[in-house]
Amino acid sequence: MSEDKSLFEKNIEMWERWTNSYMDTMARAMDKTMEQSTAFRQQVEKAAAVAVDAQLDATLAAIKALEKQVELLSSRIDELLKKQG
């Protein structure tokens, strides 16, 4: 009986080592996946920031051009009103 118990205990020990090793491997894999996800998210955020920055620059340039056109139109309207009045 003691030999059976010894085999059973050895079996349990092997099972514990295997499950611990498996859990460690899975934990490392999850850590690596999270690191990769973080790196990917950072790259996406950087790309989005660059795209938004470029779009904002283009929008600002368009607004400035529109502002100049409105100023020119306003001055022409003022001239026409002076001639009329």
- What is the per-residue pLDDT for 2? 67
Quick: pLDDT tens for 14-32: 999 999 999 999 999 999 9
**pTM of the model as a whole:** 0.51
User: Which tokens hold the place of 38?
Assistant: 């973080």
Question: Residue 73 corresponds to which tokens in the numbers above?
Answer: 């139109």
User: Which residue from 28, 52, 32, 50 is spatially nearest to 40, judged by alpha carbons?
Assistant: 32
Quick check: helix, strand or coil at residue 1?
Answer: coil
At 1, is the pLDDT very low, low, confident or very high (cuts 50, 70, 90)? Answer: low
- At position 13, the amino acid (one-letter code) is E
Amino acid at 30: M
